[in-house]
Amino acid sequence: MQNVLRVLEGRWKLIILFQLFGGQVRRFSDLERSIPGISQKMLIQQLRQLESDGVVGRIVHHQVPPKVEYHLTEWGQSLCPALDALLLWAENAPEEVRSSLILDVPSSET
């Protein structure tokens, strides 16, 4: 049990999983763009861990330029109900938590 929960540990794991929610197939650069604040290193690291834990699958298309796609495995898919419940829970969060103390305002140009 503890063992299994550790699969989800890591700052970006759940966020990544949400991106793959519902059977989506996403490219590396796609994920990178969709998750503000994540670095390539963290993205690849967490993906690799999820992959080796059997939650995420990885498909390499041998092309130029390279193209790699990620998706939920079957077991990963079975996480979706939990993800869904989590989403619902997060939406009901009190304001103090939502805004937290974390203010990252990436001033997008001018």
Would you tell me which residues interact with a second copy (CB under 8 A)? 1-9, 11, 14-15, 53-54, 75, 78-79, 81-82, 84-86, 88-90, 92-94, 96-100, 102
CA 17, 78, 74, 4 torsion-angle sign: positive
Q: How far apart are CA 50 and CA 90, in angstroms?
A: 23
Q: Which stretch binds DNA (CB under 7 A): 5-13, 17-25, 77-85, 90-98?
A: 5-13
Q: Is 46 in the site for DNA (CB under 7 A)?
A: yes
Give me the least distance between CB of 24 and DNA, in Å please.
Answer: 14
Q: Which is nearer to a second copy, 12 or 70 (CB)?
A: 12
Please check whether residue 7 is in contact with residue 50, taking contact to mean a CB–CB distance below 8 angstroms: yes
Which is it for strands 67-72 and 26-27: parallel, antiparallel or unpaired?
antiparallel
Task: Name 15's Cβ contacts closer than 8 Å, sequence gap at least 6.
Answer: 35, 38
Give me the least distance between CB of 87 and DNA, in Å please.
Answer: 20
Residues that bind DNA (CB under 7 A): 10-12, 27-30, 32, 37-42, 44-48, 58, 60, 65-68
